[in-house]
């Protein structure tokens, strides 16, 4: 797997994960020197190459003079996420129902990491996976976030409920999100770009919550909606 871009590689280095090698552009300045210093400290192989070589290796075409090579992303188990509870006020998990766009998944992971979410759960089918693009779009947040890929999202919801989680679907037509207190363990389900949270998944959830919309457009981008909801959970817990 390739991690491209200065910020993404800096975040990757912070995790302590195994990095096979790093390609750096010859003559590059700024944070590239910090990446080189940290790589040397960790005995990671560094190659200085021409920009053309980086352009050839790059999939995003926005490598910023840095590409790191690692093994494929290692997913966590749902039990790992449950055990990773960061807040004394309760666990906080995000589930993605049909998020197929890598930009949305990357943004969701970035929002989740910033809001102190313990982990993100995605289904094996009908969903974007954690790729080089997702890591880059997340600005490196994917390197710090536990992501589980499960065979069945509805079964994952049942597992969370058995472990004391109150599961909320973020969808139109639900109760006012600002009236909820979010005590205890919380899981938010955010739906796909077009279909939203699927009917059967919504029925599995304990409650459906909605954001008030005052404009003529009747929906928000998935990552934007999650950002508002996640920070409302965080605000109630401060």
pLDDT of residue 170: 96
Check whether 91 has a pLDDT greater than 90: yes
Q: What angle do CA 73, 76, 77 make, to 5 degrees?
A: 150
Residues near 81 by beta carbon (within 8 Å), at least 6 away in sequence: 93, 118, 119, 121, 146, 148
The average pLDDT across 70-94 equals 92
* Residue found under tokens 């938010």: 188
The average pLDDT across 50-55 equals 94
The average pLDDT across 53-61 equals 90
pLDDT band of residue 159 (cuts 50, 70, 90) is very high
The residues pairing with 148 across neighbouring beta strands, listed in sequence order, are 76, 121
**In degrees rounded to 5, what are phi and psi of residue 159?**
-60, -45
H helix and E strand count, the chain: 9, 10
DSSP code at position 50: -
Q: What mean pLDDT value characterizes the chain?
A: 92
pLDDT tens digit sequence for 176-215: 999 999 999 999 999 987 789 999 999 999 999 999 888 7
CB 121 within 8 A of CB 82: no
CB 47 within 8 A of CB 69: no
pLDDT of residue 168: 98
Percent of the chain exceeding pLDDT 90 equals: 72
pLDDT of residue 37: 92
Instruction: Go through the domains of the chain in sequence order and give each one's CATH number.
Output: 2-70 (3.30.1330.30), 78-237 (3.40.1280.10)
Question: Any idea how long the chain is?
Answer: 238
pLDDT of residue 180: 95
pLDDT tens digit sequence for 94-148: 999 999 999 999 999 999 999 999 999 999 988 999 988 898 899 889 989 999 9
Give the strands of the sheet with 165-176, arranged side by side.
Answer: 146-150, 119-123, 92-97, 185-191, 165-176, 207-210
Check whether 62 has a pLDDT greater than 90: no
Three-state SS for 92?
Answer: strand
Check whether 49 has a pLDDT greater than 90: yes
DSSP code at position 42: T
pLDDT of residue 27: 87
Cα separation, 69 vs 120, whole angstroms: 24
Query: How many Å is the maximal CA-CA distance in the chain?
Result: 57
């Amino acid at each position: 797997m390739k991690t491209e871009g200065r910020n993404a590689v800096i975040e990757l280095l912070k995790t302590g994960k195994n990095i096979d090698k790093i390609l750096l552009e010859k003559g590059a300045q700024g944070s590239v020197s910090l990446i080189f210093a940290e790589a040397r400290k960790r005995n990671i192989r560094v190659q200085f190459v021409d920009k053309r070589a980086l352009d050839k290796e790059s999939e995003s075409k926005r490598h910023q003079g840095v590409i790191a090579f690692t093994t494929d992303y290692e997913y966590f188990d749902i039990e790992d996420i449950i055990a990773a509870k960061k807040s004394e006020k309760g666990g906080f998990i995000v589930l993605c129902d049909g998020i197929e766009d890598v930009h949305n998944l990357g943004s969701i992971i970035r929002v989740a990491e910033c809001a102190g979410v313990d982990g993100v759960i995605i289904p094996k089918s009908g969903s974007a996976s954690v790729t080089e693009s997702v890591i880059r779009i997340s600005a490196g947040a994917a390197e710090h976030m536990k992501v589980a890929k499960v065979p069945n999202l509805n079964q994952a919801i049942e597992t969370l409920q058995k472990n004391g989680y109150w599961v909320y679907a973020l969808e139109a037509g639900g109760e006012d999100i600002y009236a909820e207190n979010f005590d205890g363990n919380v899981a938010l389900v955010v739906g796909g770009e077009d279909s939203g949270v699927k009917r059967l998944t919504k029925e599995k959830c304990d409650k459906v919550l909605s954001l008030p919309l005052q404009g003529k457009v009747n929906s928000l981008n998935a990552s934007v909606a999650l950002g508002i909801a996640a920070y409302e959970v965080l605000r109630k817990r401060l």
